[in-house]
Amino acid sequence: MDTQLFEQAKPILTTITDQGYEAYFVGGSVRDYIMGRHIHDIDITTSATPDEIESIFSHTIPIGKEHGTINVVVEHNNYEITTFRAEEDYIDHRRPSNVIFVRDLYEDLQRRDFTMNAIAMDQHYQLYDYFNGQEDIKQRLIRTVGNANERFEEDALRMIRCLRFQSQLTFDIAPATYQAMSQQMSDIRYLSIERIITELTKLLAGANVAVSFYNMIELQAFDYILFFKNFKMDNITVTEPISLELFIAIVLAQQPQSDSLKQLKLSNRQIKAIQQYVKLITTLPDISTKDQLKLVVYDFDVQLIKEIINNRDILSANDLATAQPLIVNQQSVAEIERLLPIHQRQQMAVNGGTLMSHLTKPSGPWIKEVLRQIECAIITNKVENSESEILKWVDNHVKI
Ligand code: ATP
Ligand code: MG
């Protein structure tokens, strides 16, 4: 059993309980512990208020204090400690900004999304399971705590979380829970795109994504998500775990349109990856020589090329052409990358200035063109990357 993180965090629970308050492990860590899965982080819930937690521990960070969360740092480890709370006043199907702190564990567990996520565990590994979460875990079932329609009415994100957990855990969804999702999915249009993207990214990366993605389509969830609602998402298939970036690139490659990615509020790094993926998806199938591949390996991020090669089957399933495996494969790409004479333009032994004085020509758009020709010649090993060799090559090969 993976108890290392719990053991490490135990002194925190003891410190809080020694002061007369209650404190428990809760949420994903307890669920994963019961399932025998790897535990990646620990959430702690307590009857102590944020102010009380701050007075108990010497090193605290008030990261989400208004929602009841204080980060406590003990021996360089950071723990999120959240005060028991009940939620009320859901506005527009989103979680409220107002929270009410309570002193009762039951109330805190009752506001949690699914029975498997509503189990608390004390420092002696004693479980507090008021909603039959353990039984549902045994049956591999995702079920809302309480009435599904009401819980999704309060916070529509829970419907996407449900599909995300189905993908990650390979669980079934309880019939009443699924039924409520089929009735209320349109409410996800009120959610912030950031919250949806966080869950969608996890959903796409889950082992059981084929089933969850099918359910996303069946429930017409994409009709209510910015950007995606402009595409025929029922033409898209996801059969294996995939990154969000490659997923979006597949959608754009299959159904080209200028609709702005900006709406998804992704990072610049993500947008760049998507753009490169789209270009690669259209470029790689046309490659028929090793020299062409060398240029692609030079021009694009090699990780992204490898990712596309790994996902041939998904591309085919989405009616996208794939590269010729005899020329474009993991080995050929790795080998070419290893032998690339240069990795960026700045490493070329000549620049615009060298060319202007060698050819005694004034500056102009020709420089960019000639530099690119030289760059291609270096990459495809037609000329060595030294100034004298390059200038000789220019004299013989370049018409200006
Ligand atoms: P993971 O393993 O991905 O971290 P998790 O179950 O811990 O899964 P989190 O998003 O970290 O998921 O949330 C921690 C806990 O907070 C959940 O287990 C659940 O009890 C509660 N929770 C999170 N989001 C919601 C929500 N929208 N509605 C109700 N409870 C929620
Ligand atoms: Mg968690």
Give the Cα separation of 259 and 278 in Å (integer).
14
Q: Is residue 5 part of a domain?
A: yes
What spacing in Å lies between the alpha carbon of 40 and ligand 2's midpoint?
8
Ligand 1 within 6 A of CB of 155: yes
- For ligand 2, a single-atom ion, which residues have Cβ within 5 Å? 28
**Rounded mean pLDDT, 291-297:** 97
Both 117 and 148 in one domain: the answer is: no
pLDDT of 61 reads: 96
Q: Which of 134, 129, 141, 132 is nearest to 24 (CA)?
A: 129
pLDDT tens per residue across span 114-138? 999 999 999 999 999 999 999 999 9
Residue type (1 letter), 379: I
Dihedral pair phi/psi, residue 240, rounded to 5°: -140, 160
Residue 230 DSSP one-character state: G
Both 177 and 67 in one domain: the answer is: no
**Rounded mean pLDDT, 314-326:** 95
Ligand 1 within 6 A of CB of 93: no
Question: Above 70 in pLDDT, residue 88?
Answer: no
What spacing in Å lies between the alpha carbon of 29 and ligand 2's midpoint?
7
Q: Is residue 35 part of a domain?
A: yes
Both 353 and 314 in one domain: the answer is: no
Question: Above 70 in pLDDT, residue 217?
Answer: yes
Q: Is residue 93 part of a domain?
A: yes
Q: Confidence class of residue 89 from pLDDT cuts 50, 70 and 90?
A: low
Both 166 and 286 in one domain: the answer is: no
Domains in the chain, number? 4
pLDDT of 183 reads: 98
What spacing in Å lies between the alpha carbon of 22 and ligand 1's midpoint?
20
- Looking at 95, 123, 139, the residue that finishes a domain is 139
What CATH number is attached to the domain comprising 385?
1.10.246.80
pLDDT tens per residue across span 242-279? 999 999 999 999 999 877 899 999 999 999 999 999 99
Give the Cα separation of 108 and 22 in Å (integer).
12
Q: Which ligand does the CA of 151 lie closest to?
A: 1
Ligand 1 within 6 A of CB of 112: yes
Atom 28 of ligand 1, residue of closest alpha carbon: 113
pLDDT of 327 reads: 92
Q: Confidence class of residue 399 from pLDDT cuts 50, 70 and 90?
A: confident
- Looking at 79, 114, 139, the residue that finishes a domain is 139
Cβ neighbors of 290 (< 8 A, separation 6 or more) are 327, 332, 336
- Looking at 71, 104, 139, the residue that finishes a domain is 139
Q: Is residue 157 part of a domain?
A: yes
Question: Above 70 in pLDDT, residue 95?
Answer: no
For residue 211, the enclosing domain spans 140-225
pLDDT of 96 reads: 63
Q: Confidence class of residue 294 from pLDDT cuts 50, 70 and 90?
A: very high
Q: Decide: 333 and 305 in contact? Cβ < 8 Å.
A: yes
